[in-house]
A and B are shown apart, each in its own frame.
Chain A
Amino acid sequence: MSRAILYDSTKCIGCRLCEAACAERWGLPYDDKVAAEEKLSAHKLTAVQTHGERFSRRLCMHCEDPTCASVCPVGAFRKTALGPVVYDESRCIGCRYCMLACPFQVPAYTWDSRLPVVKKCDMCYERQQAGLATACADACPTGATISGKRDALIAEARGRIAENPGQYYDRIYGIEEVGGTSVLFLSAVPFEQLGLRTGLPREPLPLLTWRALSYVPDIVVAGTVLLGGVWWITHRREEVAAAEAREKEEQS
C-alpha cells in the first residue's frame, strides 16, 4: 500500500524543524538566511510559508500519476510502488520539461552548476523502504506533518474534519487534484489562502498529452496510405500520357 504525507496547517506552529531535518537529510546547508527563504529551490526542498497568522508547507506532492514522470523524455522520474516519486539524475539530459510541466512548480534546478541536476523532495524514499517515517514527519513536534499509508491518512484527515467541523475547511487538498497526490493538506481556510494552487483539473495531466500522442500510429498509417495513393495516381497519369504519346508516334 502506498505511503503518503498528511500536513495539517492548523497544527503547524512555523518552527521550521521540518526544513532543518530535510536539509540535514539531503546534506544541504541550513542557516537563518536559508530559513528565511519561503520558497522551494535547489537548496531548499521543503519550505514553510507564512500566510498572515497561518503557515503552510511546500514540498513535492508525489502525484499518483506524476506529470514529471510522463513528460520526461528519458524516464528520469518514476512513481514507485511505495508512493514516492523519485528522480534518477544519471538519465537526466537537462531539458527542464519537468519544471515547465509540474502543476505545483516543484522541480528546481542547480542553475549555477556546470553539471546541473534537478532537485526535489523524494519523500525520503530510502527511509520509507526501511519502514521509517519521513525526516520531516519525524522532526515535527506538533504532529502537523505525519507520514503513513495514504488510505489511513485520508481516513485520519476525514476524522479530524468530522470531529472539529468548525476548525477545518471542509476539504482535503490532494485527493482529487490532478488525479490525486501522495501529499495531503488540511486547512482552516480555503486552500488558495495558503498559497496552494486551486482550480487544477481533476484528471491526471498526462492524459492531456496522451490524447494527442495516441494519434501517432493513426497519422503514420493514414499518412502512408494517403501519400502512397496520391503518388501512385499522379505518376500513373504521367505514365499513361507517355505511353499514349509513344503509340501516337508509332502510328504516324
Chain B
Amino acid sequence: MTRLLRLTVWQWIFVALMLGGLYAAYVRVFYGLGGATHLSDQFPWGLWIGFDVLCGVGLAAGGFTLAAIVHIFNIESYKPILRATILTAFLGYGLVILALLFDLGRPYRIWHPLVMWNPRSVMFEVAWCVMLYTTVLALEFVPAVFERFGWQRPLGWMRAVSIPLVMAGVILSTLHQSSLGSLYLIVPAKLHPLWYTPLLPLFFFLSALAVGFAMTIFESWHSSRAFGRQLEAPLLASMARVLAVLLGFYLVLRFWDLGRRGALARVLENRTESYLFILEIALLLVPMLLLFRRPVRLRPGALYACAVMVIFGFVTNRLNVSVTGMEAGSGVHYVPKWTEVMVTLAIIALGFAIFRFAAQHLPIFEEEAPAVSGRPVRLAAAGD
C-alpha cells in the first residue's frame, strides 16, 4: 500500500487525468454527443476536431519531414533523433484516431470510408491518407521492436522496403496535411476572411512543416532531460535555421494573400477575431525573428522557448480556423464543455505516458554518440 502511494507528482496527475477521461468517456457513451459536448447544429465541430484532430495531425508532422531528411536527402547526422520522431508521429496519429472515436457520432462505422467511396469529398481523401500513413508509420517504427527481440529476418525485409515506405509517407503526409486546410474551402460564407483563402491547403501544409521542426526540437529537449541524452545542439541549431526561413516564407505569403484579398484592414478591427489573429501571428513572428540570430539558435533554453512559441502559434492558428473564425458565420458562441476538455487532456497525458514507456523499453535512442559535423561517419571509416 505504501509503495502504491509513492507516486511522483506527474504520476498522480496522470492517474487523475485518466480517471477524469474515463468518466468523460462514460458520459460520451451513455449521454451521447449532446450530453458530452457543447456542439450544436450551428456549430458541429468543436475542440475534438479543432485541437485533437487538426493540431494532433499537424504536431505529428515531424515524422515525415525527418524521415525525408534522413532517408531521401541522406543527411545521416539527423538519424539519432529519427526514431523518437517517428514514434511521436505514430503515437500522434493513434491518438488522433482515438479522439475521432469520441467525436464521430457512430464510431463503430469508422471503417465505412474503406468500402463506401466518395472521391469528391476532402474528408474521404483525408480518411484514406490518415489510414495509410498510420500504417506507414507503424511499419517505419516496427524495426525498433524487431531489434529489441533480435529478430534479424524481418529486420532485413523492413530494410528492403524502407525507401519506398518513406516516399509513400512523405506523399501521403503532403496530401492530408494540406487537405485538412482544404476541408475549410467549402465554407466561404462562414469562415472569417482573416483565414478563409483559396490558399488554405498550402498554408496548412507549410505550417505543418514548420511545426514538425519545432516539435522535433521540443521532443529532443524533453528526451534529453528525461533520459539524460545529450541535446544534439549543432543539429538542432541548423534545423532551427530552416524553421526560421520556413516561418518567414509562410508569414510573407500569409500577408501577401491578405492584401491580395483586401482583408488586411480587418486585422485592425476591434474584434475577438482580430486579437486572436494578432496573437497567432505574434507567436510565429517572434520566434522567427529570434531564430534568425545565431546565438539564440545555439542556446538550448532559448531554442526550446522558440519551439514552444511556434507550437503555440500553430495551435492558435488551427483553433482560429476551426473555432474563432467560424463563430460569427454560424451565429453562435462556442465554449467546450468540461467533458470535451477532459477527454483532450486525458489523450495528451496518454500520449506522454506511452512515449515514456516505449522510450524506456525499446531502442529509441541510438547508442552511439551523434555525429557533430556533417554526415560522413561511415565514409570516414571507409577512407582511413
Contact = CB atoms under 8 A, between A and B. Distances in A.
Interface of A: 40-42, 67, 70-75, 91-97, 99-101, 103, 105, 107-109, 111-117, 197, 199-201, 205-206, 208-213, 216, 219-220, 223-224, 227-228, 230-231, 234-235, 237-238, 241-242, 245-246, 248
B119 to A, nearest CB: 8
Given A72-B121, A101-B187, A114-B30, A91 B182 contact: no
Contacts of A73: 112-113, 118, 121, 123-124, 126-127
A72 B73 contact: no
A216 B176 CA distance: 10
B31 interface: yes
Given A112-B32, A114-B29, A216-B125, 15 more contacts: A40-B41, A75-B118, A91-B116, A92-B106, A93-B106, A93-B110, A95-B123, A101-B187, A105-B41, A201-B189, A206-B186, A212-B122, A220-B175, A231-B167, A234-B72
B99 to A, nearest CB: 13
Nearest to B126: A73
9 contacts: A67-B186, A70-B120, A197-B189, A201-B189, A208-B186, A212-B182, A212-B201, A213-B179, A231-B71
Question: For the complex, would chain B's binding face be called helix, strand, loop or mixed by DSSP majority?
Answer: helix
Contacts of A116: 32-33, 105-106
A71 B122 contact: yes
Contacts of B103: 95
B187 A74 contact: no
A103 B126 CA distance: 22
Contacts of B124: 73-74
A88 B189 CA distance: 27
B189 A235 contact: no
B185 interface: yes
A103 B189 contact: yes
B122 A213 contact: yes
A219 B105 contact: no
A241 B383 CA distance: 9
B174 A223 contact: yes
Contacts of B182: 209, 212-213
Contacts of B175: 216, 219-220
Given A73-B113, A213-B125, A92 B171 contact: no
A72 B123 contact: yes
B105 A93 contact: yes
Contacts of B224: none
Nearest to A228: B167
B170 A227 contact: yes
A42 B42 CA distance: 12
B183 interface: yes
A182 to B, nearest CB: 19
Nearest to A238: B74
Interface string B180-200: 001101111110000000100
Interface in B144-176: 163, 166-167, 170-171, 174-175
A200 B105 CA distance: 29
B41 A109 contact: yes
B359 interface: no
A222 to B, nearest CB: 9
A210 B120 contact: yes
B118 A74 contact: yes
Q: Top 5 nearest A-B pairs by Cβ distance?
A: A94-B105, A111-B34, A234-B74, A112-B34, A73-B123
Contacts of B383: 245, 248
B365 to A, nearest CB: 24
Contact of A212 (B30, B34, B167, B185): B185
Contacts of B245: none
A93 to B, nearest CB: 4
Contacts of A206: 120, 186
A111 B39 contact: yes
A95 B32 contact: no
B41 A41 contact: yes
B45 A100 contact: yes
A157 to B, nearest CB: 24
Contact of B74 (A91, A210, A219, A231): A231
A206 B187 CA distance: 10
A208 B118 CA distance: 16
B174 A111 contact: no
Contact of A75 (B107, B110, B117): B117
A59 B45 CA distance: 22
